[in-house]
């Protein structure tokens, strides 16, 4: 069953980071299994190939079932390749993002 998608975006990087962390903490399950049902994929990249690989890791994390079938939270943290810049506009980045969507 598909889950919910939450996006935290904005121009103030510090505020975006704080809000995203607060949302992650609110959504993640509590208890002993929490560390096995939460996954953070670091999204800061230097080029289009790294962006493609981050998208692939995110897809893999989303497709992996949580521990004992529990709900799973995947956070693509600090994704800097979604901007309209050289990396964001590269075909390899676009292919990764298209696969992710």
Q: With a threshold of 0.85, does the pTM exceed it? A: yes
**Distance set, CA 47 to CA 3, 50, 59, 88, 89 (Å):** 29, 5, 19, 9, 11
Distance CA 88, CA 73 (A): 25
Residues in the chain, total: 101
N-to-C CA span, the chain: 16
Higher pLDDT, 71 or 92: 92
- Per-domain residue ranges of the chain: 13-100
- At residue 31 the predicted structure's pLDDT band, cuts being 50, 70 and 90, is confident
| pLDDT tier for residue 2 given thresholds of 50, 70 and 90 | low
Per-residue pLDDT of 37-87, as tens digits, reads 889 999 999 999 999 999 999 999 999 887 777 778 999 999 999 999 999
CB atoms under 10 Å from CB of 95, counted, come to: 14
């Amino acid at each position: 069953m598909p889950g919910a998608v939450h996006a935290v975006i904005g121009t103030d990087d510090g505020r975006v980071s704080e809000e995203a962390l607060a949302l992650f903490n609110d959504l993640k399950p509590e208890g002993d299994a929490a560390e096995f049902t939460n996954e953070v994929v670091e999204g800061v990249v230097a080029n289009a190939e790294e962006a493609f690989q981050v998208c692939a890791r995110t897809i893999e994390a989303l497709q992996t079932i949580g521990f004992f079938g529990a709900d799973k939270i995947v956070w693509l943290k600090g994704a800097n390749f979604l901007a309209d810049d050289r990396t964001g506009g590269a075909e390899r980045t676009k292919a990764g993002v298209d696969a992710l969507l």
